[in-house]
Structure 1
Amino acid sequence: MKVRYFIITSFIFLLCASFVSAEEAVWNDTFGYGDGQDIALDGDGNSYVTGGGKDVITLKYAPNGTLLWNSTMDFGMTSEMGNSIALDNDGNAYVAGRGNDNVVILKYAPNGTLLWNNSYDYMGSIDYGEDVALDNSGNAYVTGAGNGRYHFYCIVLKYAPNGTLLWNSSLTLDDTNGLKIALDNDGNAYVTGDGDRSILTAKYAPNGTLLWDNNYPCGSSTGFTVGEDIALDNDGNAYVAGIGNTGVYGDYLYITLKYAPNGTLLWNRTVNLGLTDQAFGIEVDALGNAYVTGCVDNGVTQDIMTIKYAPNGTQEWNRSVDYGRDNALDIALDNSGNAYVAGYITDSSDQQVFVIKYAPNGSELWNSTCLYWSNSYGIAIALDNNGNAYVAGSVLGATIVTVKFGIPVDETAPEVTINTLEKSYNTTSIVINATATDLNLDSVIAEINGTENITLENISGYFVNSTFEFSEGLNTLKIYANDSFGHINSSENVTFRVDLNSPEITIKLIEGEYLNNGSNVINFTVNESNLDKVTAFNGSTEILLNNSTGNYLNSVVLNEGIYNVTIRINDTAGNIAEKSLNFIIDKTAPVITLNTPVNGTTFTTSSISLNVSANDSLSNVSSVLAQIGSIRNVTLSFDGTYYTGNTGTLPNGNYEITILATDLVGNVNSNETVNITVAVPSSSSRSSGNHYSSDLSDGITSSVIKNTVSNSNIVYGSDVDEGYAQELKENLYNSEDYEISGDTIIVGGPKYNVPANKYDSKFGISISNDYPGENKGIIQVLKVQDNSGNIIKSYTIVYIAGSDRFGTQAALEYFKTLNELPEGPIMVEWTANGPVLA
């Protein structure tokens, strides 16, 4: 991954030039929004680019610059991008980046099919993937940063080729970030990045064990210090390029480090020529020589600086480039040890993509630029086997640009493929479509019926014309492709027929129907005298058909499931008719569980709450009915999670309760039955003479609080709050449809509790996630007078809530210990020893 921090300026136009030899920009292309952050090449010379700014964008180009496919992934946030790309031995592309404030990793097949995508959320905040590397088995190692609420932490992830997360690791040091990752021949992963104002380098074993980590301090602890790139030699030594600081704000150092496989720092080298000395890229050749590139301050402006170090740290040579304000962001080596440096130069007022090539002895072999919209820059570079350099970067920081630098050679005529098929068509408006490839293609012309020539327009790599009207009957089409060297290809031609008739489909099944058997479900007829093919697909699965009766029917019994069937008819003229057919086959009754009451329970209340879990994965539950012995049937209501209701008032006695759950198809499950006993005592009075509700929970000692709880409706919002509320008494009310019309105790804050949301501002203290704070809750009492009727009513509302669940628990537990209702708010904090006054 190549994320770099630098300043750009903007103007306009396109110009590519070479200053030393004949190497030039063979082709360039722009796509989408944002920066091209990384580039990789396969063995055939196809280039893969990733980047973006609002979405994660991945592109694949043929060696001639044809865009073979593109993918844009929108994870729902405005700031998303692919930061790194790597290819396995089969040409699959792995992309790491940031999406929806999570680390994202995507895997694409060579044809652009998304094989899988995974997100990694460190602690629910902003995370991002910076770099990805692959081992010989196709396992992907990703590094980046995870936000731990107050600090970022360097994270390392390992995924199997099928997308399974094998392990994850994070460093415990605050304010760290993994920027680059490299693998040795044994599968050990080396990471470099930001180590809390030091250069971080760490080594992980293939199983995720942290073998060592080092932080190289350089300058002031308040200055900017970071490891920008890492490379390994054949012995497992790690070479790091990065940025240090002198301790003076804005004064940076060009740093190179070498670590042994055991983490010992073998040597370090520093360049300090001015304020803006920074190393961004490093590569190591087969002999262990390190090539480093970046920028230095020449006292007036900024130059590109490339340095070669011997394995022992001796500087072999250094070379600088000075056009104005210049910078190098990446470096690559070919098999001969030549170094290719990519970045940008500023010539007059124009900022241009820049590439320079050095021989192993430091001689400059060539350099070339490409200016796009007067403000463009190269971020990442990759090489093919022929010495061509491919650069990914950005135009104006808003468009991905890809440039191929090399020597154009053209000795052959263009290659032509006519995509307009030799067949029959059902329209006179046939799109002429041809593909013509050549390094120096000049024009593509269509000759129609031997009498009329049309110049075709290049749209996204296809040469097309969609305005010509063909006549019914036979037509001929011949393509002439010309290049700028005078080569012509006129060998391709096709003959086709125009036929304006289309098939008709009549479906005899009701759309969206629910069925409880799979025989002869699909039923349709086709009106077409020249049928070619009749198919029905449920998603990607074909359903076999027969038409022995004149109707097309499914030839095998369909299993239960959700069917979204597409019926497709092709005739010999190429006309296509499609119709969709959606239905559900459900042969299974709903699954039910009677949660409450429990079998064999004796109740001392005459009205019992019913709670049933019922689900049907296909046709959904239509109704849930409770048969209360021979007394009555009760239809239960769905609260979003459970089916609930009440038996109504029952006299003392024994009752059998049977639950009947019916789905939309009519399948019924009546296998859930319990037996209960109702035995309501004649009085629930206590020795004090007070009368409390029979469902009052234990643990309340004060008669005042007992009376308050007994006489109040307990209202909860979330499932967690419901559990707390049950510590007051058994019978509770869900807040969703509750209106306060009498004494009420509200449990839980305004986020999930409707009355809490309504009355929160009327209490002395408003509850939020931030106040009263972590693990803290408040008990408040409000006297309300209702003047809406002829009789003036007054009632008491007790509000028990906290900033989090522990705050609510603390307030409720403390409320149970009170002797009287408080006259003012009481703030309580949950501790390891229980609730205490805050």
Structure 2
Amino acid sequence: MHPKNLRGGKMTRPVMFLITLLPALAVAQLDTLWLRTIDGGPGLEDVFSDMVVDDSGFVYITGATATASLTTDIFVRKYRPDGTVVWTATYNGRANQDDSASALVVDSLGNVFVCGWTMDTLMDMDMITIKYSPTGQLLWAKRWFRAVNRDDAAHALALDQQGRVIVTGYCSDASYNIDYCTICYNAQTGDTVWVRYYNRTPENDEDIPYALCIDDSSNIYVTGTSYDDGTDYDITTIRYRPNGTQTWLRRKNNWPWVGDDYGLKIAFDPTTRSVLVAGTVWDDNQDYNYFTMKYRATNGDSLWYRTYNRYPANNEDLLTALALDPAGNVFVTGTSFDDVTDYDIATVSYTASGMPRWTQRYDADGFEDTGAEITVDSLSQIFVLGTGESRINRMDMTILKYDNAGNPLYVWSWDNPAVHREDWGYRIAVHSPKYIFAAGTTTDDTANQDLLLMKLYEVLHDFAVRTLLTPESLYISDTLFPMAVISNLAINPDSCRAYLKIEPGPYLDSSWLVLTPGAFDTVQFALLLADTTGVITVTCWVNLAADERRFNDTLIRTVIVWQETTGLAENRPADTRLVVTITPNPIRTQAQINFSLPPEPAVTLRLFDRTGALVQQFPIQTVNGRTRFRLDLKNLPAGVYFLKADRVDVPLNAKVVIQH
């Protein structure tokens, strides 16, 4: 067979493709180096608490794993950078009942400190702080309780500059009054240096800390929530000197609205010598809003505060995480309700002076999406880890990356392919600009949660042939329009040549591509006239010199060329298939539609949104079954739509994505 390369002259019958829509391609700038799951036992629930990556790339994970006796033990494991296990430690309290970790830190020598709670023999909870050596040996474990047969639990811990570990949590007194409890231990010996309680009087009600941080002079800052008879729960932040002396205390109520306000995260900013507190506050719409506040570190003066509410939804906006960059810019994330897209991952940035910089919202598929953690890498890029809910896979671990100005760089999600259930992301860390660690939980085949840890890497250079657009067959003397969709699935802009070869015969064409990260292009190669029958092989490949993933560089398709039948008793069957191409897709404002539908002269295309509501329709008159027109969608909101035909003999159901 000897196809001809047609670049001009008389054209014969063109062969179009069956609904060759350009899909919204999944961006994959991240790839998995290794993945580990931890299962305490079949049919048992395991709980994730925290993850830390040290300067050498070793990873530490903690939580609670289930036991055969249906209780839980504190679980700690250390991994090498290659994903192999260094050591595993579990802690079972003296009551042989439930024990759970809350947080973990690692010192410069590789010693590991874990805090949480342990059940006592009297079936009450005690605060617990544990130290392990770099090789996983238990060095000491310290319980703390304020009153017998009451509940106490540690929520957070940090290391100061004086070789001490500071733990905060809550303790109950004999009257069931719950107070802030902050403890300073000698990190070497575990001896108690000092203990400080905070109780709001005369209420003597609930005072619960959730987070702490330490500045470069070993001053300690604790935040949480504290009950007041007049204002309900207030965000309450306390500063202690290294010797435990309280230097200031600030309460913040979202006045004039009386409701529950919570301080959930706290961070010290060395650039501005200030403390950032983030959480949620109650407002006049009877819902929660993001809340971010900045105090002067030395005296607790309020510098500014900001709230974030999705308007006009005026529903729940729940902050979960806080991060700072070296310039003092502030980043918060969480989950925020929208009337159309339900709960979205909403990320907000402020300047060091509290001016809003940008807001980005992410919706996976119109369901509940949650941001759990946020971090800033050495290049001041922002990574958000959370969970996105989709129609097919339910809950998927999701990573969003933004540049410092808030421009989205990529979205990556992970679904456990064995079960397609719930996969939650809780902690993220970036080690060097290339490697990313993510941890959370995944549902196993017994519908129970296991701990999940993975190491990912950002792909620097990767072009992929995503789709090769060719028909399954054509008739002799037909004209073929070979096209390919080629994507840049890396984090760097790149350029290379894409090739298309058709065999047997001399056909070879190429095109030069320049693509930004995450971008794609639909390349139309030179036309082909098939002049003999048989099977032809179409091969498309890219030739990027530094490509890191060669497996996606090439696609091959076969096409059958049929003999035209000219006998009296046989005619070529009428082709009633609606043949559509839409470019570009995703669409920002307008797209061009080309289609072929012989022999009927007319068809109406209808555009539906994801709820099934008709939003637009396009009556089309064809000439010899073919037409071309502009599709103007700039006035429609961004989202996923479906294009269908009004004729029952036309099985068209094509997805159109609008991105403004």
In the superposition, the TM-score normalised over structure 1's length comes to 0.45
**Aligned 1:244-393 pairs, distance under 5 A:** 244-246=281-283, 251-261=287-297, 262-273=299-310, 274-300=314-340, 301-323=342-364, 324-349=367-392, 350-372=394-416, 373=419, 374-393=421-440
Is the Cα–Cα contact under 8 Å of residues 377 and 433 in structure 2 kept in the other structure? no
User: Structure 2: any 5+ residue segments left out of the alignment?
Assistant: 1-24, 66-71, 120-124, 228-232, 461-548, 552-660
CA distance change for structure 1 residues 309 and 157 in 2, over 3 Å: closer, same or farther? same
Counterpart Cα distance in 2 of 1:28 and 1:85:
21
CA distance change for structure 1 residues 221 and 83 in 2, over 3 Å: closer, same or farther? farther
CA distance change for structure 1 residues 343 and 211 in 2, over 3 Å: closer, same or farther? same
**Cα distance, 1:330 vs structure 2:** 1.1
* AA aligned opposite 2:117: R
CA distance change for structure 1 residues 398 and 219 in 2, over 3 Å: closer, same or farther? farther
* AA aligned opposite 2:46: G
* AA aligned opposite 1:370: W
**Cα distance, 1:200 vs structure 2:** 1.7
**Cα distance, 1:357 vs structure 2:** 1.5
1:174-202: per-residue Cα shift (whole Å, max 9, x none)? 31111111110000011111222111211
CA distance change for structure 1 residues 210 and 375 in 2, over 3 Å: closer, same or farther? same
Residue 779 of structure 1: aligned partner: none
* AA aligned opposite 2:153: Y
SS in 1 for 2:281: strand
Name which of 199, 202, 207 aligns with 2:235: 199
Counterpart Cα distance in 2 of 1:113 and 1:328:
35
SS in 2 for 1:50: strand
* AA aligned opposite 1:168: V
Is the Cα–Cα contact under 8 Å of residues 62 and 75 in structure 2 kept in the other structure? yes
Counterpart Cα distance in 2 of 1:408 and 1:60:
26
SS in 1 for 2:371: strand
* AA aligned opposite 2:404: P
Name which of 78, 81, 84 aligns with 1:66: 84
Residue 42 of structure 1: aligned partner: 54
**Cα distance, 1:326 vs structure 2:** 0.5
1:123-178: per-residue Cα shift (whole Å, max 9, x none)? 22111110111113331111111122422111111111221111111102231111
Counterpart Cα distance in 2 of 1:213 and 1:387:
41
Is the Cα–Cα contact under 8 Å of residues 334 and 387 in structure 1 kept in the other structure? no
Is the Cα–Cα contact under 8 Å of residues 27 and 410 in structure 2 kept in the other structure? yes
1:164 aligns with 2:191: yes
* AA aligned opposite 1:44: S
Residue 23 of structure 1: aligned partner: 30
Residue 178 of structure 2: aligned partner: 152
Residue 128 of structure 1: aligned partner: 153
Is the Cα–Cα contact under 8 Å of residues 332 and 348 in structure 2 kept in the other structure? yes
- Hey, which of these two has a bigger chunk of strand by percent? 2
Counterpart Cα distance in 2 of 1:176 and 1:247:
24
Is the Cα–Cα contact under 8 Å of residues 379 and 433 in structure 2 kept in the other structure? no
1:103 aligns with 2:110: no
* AA aligned opposite 1:257: M
Q: How many residues align?
A: 396
Residue 453 of structure 2: aligned partner: 402
**Cα distance, 1:268 vs structure 2:** 0.8
CA distance change for structure 1 residues 407 and 130 in 2, over 3 Å: closer, same or farther? same
Counterpart Cα distance in 1 of 2:354 and 2:322:
14
CA distance change for structure 1 residues 220 and 51 in 2, over 3 Å: closer, same or farther? farther
* AA aligned opposite 2:452: V
Residue 83 of structure 1: aligned partner: 102
**Aligned 1:737-816 pairs, distance under 5 A:** none
**Cα distance, 1:347 vs structure 2:** 1.2
**Cα distance, 1:220 vs structure 2:** 8.4
Is the Cα–Cα contact under 8 Å of residues 162 and 218 in structure 2 kept in the other structure? no
SS in 2 for 1:55: strand
**Cα distance, 1:310 vs structure 2:** 0.4
Is the Cα–Cα contact under 8 Å of residues 258 and 282 in structure 2 kept in the other structure? no
1:115 aligns with 2:139: yes
**Cα distance, 1:247 vs structure 2:** 5.2
* AA aligned opposite 1:405: L
SS in 2 for 1:26: strand
1:243 aligns with 2:280: yes
Is the Cα–Cα contact under 8 Å of residues 223 and 248 in structure 1 kept in the other structure? no
Counterpart Cα distance in 2 of 1:219 and 1:398:
41
1:185-243: per-residue Cα shift (whole Å, max 9, x none)? 00001111122211121111101111111121126887442111111111431111101
Is the Cα–Cα contact under 8 Å of residues 49 and 58 in structure 1 kept in the other structure? yes
**Cα distance, 1:27 vs structure 2:** 2.2
Counterpart Cα distance in 2 of 1:388 and 1:253:
33
1:74-118: per-residue Cα shift (whole Å, max 9, x none)? 113644211111111111111111112111111111211111111
* AA aligned opposite 2:135: N
* AA aligned opposite 2:178: F
1:189 aligns with 2:230: no
Counterpart Cα distance in 2 of 1:152 and 1:57:
27
Name which of 58, 71, 74 aligns with 1:56: 74
User: Structure 1: any 5+ residue segments left out of the alignment?
Assistant: 1-17, 410-483, 487-838
Highest relative contact order (Cα 8 Å, sep 6+), 1 or 2? 2
Counterpart Cα distance in 2 of 1:151 and 1:321:
41
CA distance change for structure 1 residues 347 and 281 in 2, over 3 Å: closer, same or farther? same
Counterpart Cα distance in 2 of 1:248 and 1:151:
31
Counterpart Cα distance in 2 of 1:375 and 1:293:
21
In the superposition, the TM-score normalised over structure 2's length comes to 0.57
Identity %: 27
Counterpart Cα distance in 2 of 1:310 and 1:376:
33
**Cα distance, 1:358 vs structure 2:** 1.3
Counterpart Cα distance in 2 of 1:19 and 1:52:
34
**Cα distance, 1:252 vs structure 2:** 0.9
SS in 1 for 2:344: strand
Is the Cα–Cα contact under 8 Å of residues 77 and 99 in structure 1 kept in the other structure? no
Counterpart Cα distance in 2 of 1:121 and 1:258:
33
1:636-663: per-residue Cα shift (whole Å, max 9, x none)? xxxxxxxxxxxxxxxxxxxxxxxxxxxx
- Hey, which of these two has a bigger chunk of helix by percent? 1
SS in 2 for 1:336: coil
**Cα distance, 1:406 vs structure 2:** 1.5
* AA aligned opposite 1:207: N
**Cα distance, 1:364 vs structure 2:** 1.8
Residue 423 of structure 1: aligned partner: none
1:284-327: per-residue Cα shift (whole Å, max 9, x none)? 11111111111111114101111111011001111110112111
Counterpart Cα distance in 2 of 1:80 and 1:367:
36
Is the Cα–Cα contact under 8 Å of residues 29 and 459 in structure 2 kept in the other structure? no
Is the Cα–Cα contact under 8 Å of residues 305 and 319 in structure 1 kept in the other structure? yes
Counterpart Cα distance in 2 of 1:351 and 1:338:
25
CA distance change for structure 1 residues 186 and 377 in 2, over 3 Å: closer, same or farther? same
Is the Cα–Cα contact under 8 Å of residues 231 and 238 in structure 1 kept in the other structure? yes
**Which one is further off, 147-156 or 236-245?**
147-156
* AA aligned opposite 2:143: S
CA distance change for structure 1 residues 104 and 221 in 2, over 3 Å: closer, same or farther? farther
* AA aligned opposite 1:325: E
Is the Cα–Cα contact under 8 Å of residues 26 and 408 in structure 1 kept in the other structure? no
**Cα distance, 1:348 vs structure 2:** 1.2
